[in-house]
Amino acid sequence: MSWLLVVLSLIFLCSQAIKEARKPTIPISYWRNKELMRADKMNPYISPKQVMKNLEEGKYYLSDEEYEKYKQEGHDI
C-alpha cells in the first residue's frame, strides 16, 4: 500500500515539474509600462488573472528607446 502512495507522489511531482517547466518567461521589457499596469490593477473590472494575461501578451511593453525617454521625463519607476 505504501508503494502506491510513493508512485502517486512521484507522478504528482513529475506533473508539477512539467507544468513549471512549460511556463513561459516574461521579458523585462513587458513590465516597463508601470502607469498602464497600475491603472489596470486599480480597475475593479479587470481581474488579476486578466492583468497577468495582458502582461504575457505584451500589453505593458515599452521598447528600450521609449523606456529611456520615459525615464528621462522624471517618471517614478
Q: Of the ranges 1-5, 25-29, 49-53, which one carries the lowest mean pLDDT score?
A: 25-29
What one-character DSSP code corresponds to residue 30? Answer: G
Q: Do 71 and 34 contact (CB within 8 A), yes or no?
A: no
What are residue 31's phi and psi, to 5 degrees?
A: -100, 0
Confidence band for 34, pLDDT divided at 50, 70 and 90: confident
pTM exceeds 0.75: no
Confidence band for 14, pLDDT divided at 50, 70 and 90: very high
pLDDT (0 to 100) of residue 9 = 92
Q: Over the Cα atoms of the chain, what is R_g? A: 20
In this structure, how many other beta carbons lie within 10 angstroms of the beta carbon of residue 31? 13
Distances, alpha carbon 49 to alpha carbons 18, 54, 55, in Å: 21, 9, 10
